Structures are given as C-alpha cells and as structure tokens.
Structure 1
Amino acid sequence: MPIKKQYLKSKPECKITFVVPAKDAEKVEVAGDFNNWKSSSLKKYKNGNFKGQLNLPVDKEYQFRYIVDGEWVNETEADSYQWNDFAAAENSVLAV
C-alpha cells in the first residue's frame, strides 16, 4: 500500500496520496490524528485501488490507519509504527 509524498514549493505543506489495493473491498477509509480520527472515504478505481489525497503541514508526524470494510489495517509501507494503548494495537506513522 504505497503512500506518495509531494512537497509543495509554494507553502510548507506536503500533498499526501494514499493508495490502497483492495479490489474485493466495498469501502476503504483513512482515519488519523490529521482528521481527529474521523474516517474519510477513499475513492475506488476500476483497477481495484482506493485512492485519496490531502495536504498536511510539514515537519510533523501523523498516526493513522485504514479501515477496510470495517477492519482496521496498517499501512505496510509506513515510515514507522507507534503503539496505541487505546486500540491495543500499533498505528502507522507518516512523517512529513
């Protein structure tokens, strides 16, 4: 599940593109501290990938996870992982 980062020259932000290959899934969402853990739906494409973008301020780390048909899933290519006592699981970490 790749994450693409594109640093903007015009302001201190990074355009993040989440890509989740899940052709058998009905719905994929992303939730993290960048959206107060309120899930945002990713768009499904014909090739079976779900995709979404957002701009985040740079020089920060963000914890997040995907929700694939109701199940919480980590990003396999995350920058790192951090334990979350509330969920009793690791969260993916995105460093920008």
Structure 2
Amino acid sequence: MSITKQYLKSKPECKITFCVPAKEAEKVEIAGDFNAWNLTELKKFKNGNFKGQFNLPVNKEYQFKYIVDGKWTNDAEADAYKWNEFAASENSVVVV
C-alpha cells in the first residue's frame, strides 16, 4: 500500500493518491473523514493495483480505512494511526 502526496501550487490543497496492491481482490474501497465515511470504490488496474485520488485541504489530518473484499484494513504506510472508540480499532491517518 502506498500514499502519494502532490501539493498544488494554485490553491491550498494536496492531491492524494491511494494505491492498494491486491491482485486477488475483486473490490477495494476507501472510507474516511474526507468522504464522510462513505465507501468510495478504487479503480482496479491490470497490474492488480487499486487506485483512487482525492484533493484535500492542507494543514489537516484525515482518518481512513480500506475495505478489501468486505474486510476493513489499515494502510501499512500511513502517516500515523488513531484509536477509534466507535469501531474499537485503529484507523489509518494521512497528514496533509
């Protein structure tokens, strides 16, 4: 898993690309603070990676999780992790 950040010069935003290598998976989704915890499906590429991009305001941190074939999972390369009482588990964090 990887997270790529590209800060925009024209406005205070950062283009975040989430990439999940999951060749065997049928479907990968992401949910987090930035999409009101609604499931957003990532696009599957021929090499087995799933990718999605979001433009996020800078100077914030966002909690998120991936859903790989229905199973919630964290990003091993997240900037940090935060405990979530509601889910009784940790969420991945990306700092922008």
TM-score (norm 2): 0.99
Identity of aligned residues (%): 75
Q: What SS does the corresponding residue of 1:50 show, helix, strand or coil?
A: strand
Amino acid at match of 1:54: F
> 1:17 aligned to 2:26?
no
Offset, 1:82: 0.1
Instruction: Tell me, in whole angstroms, the C-alpha distance in 1 between the residues paired with 2:90 and 2:29.
Output: 17
1:3 aligns with: 3
5+ residue gaps in structure 2?
A: none
* Number of residue pairs matched by the alignment: 96
Offset, 1:94: 0.5
Q: What SS does the corresponding residue of 2:34 show, helix, strand or coil?
A: helix
Instruction: Tell me, in whole angstroms, the C-alpha distance in 1 between the residues paired with 2:25 and 2:86.
Output: 26
1:62 aligns with: 62
Equivalence map 1:38-77=2 (5 Å): 38-77=38-77
Instruction: Tell me, in whole angstroms, the C-alpha distance in 2 between the residues paired with 1:13 and 1:39.
Output: 22
Q: What SS does the corresponding residue of 1:26 show, helix, strand or coil?
A: coil
5+ residue gaps in structure 1?
A: none
Q: What SS does the corresponding residue of 2:50 show, helix, strand or coil?
A: strand
RMSD over equivalenced CA pairs, Å = 0.4
| Consecutive aligned runs of 4 or more in structure 1 exceeding 4 Å deviation | none
Q: What SS does the corresponding residue of 2:24 show, helix, strand or coil?
A: coil
Offset, 1:10: 0.2
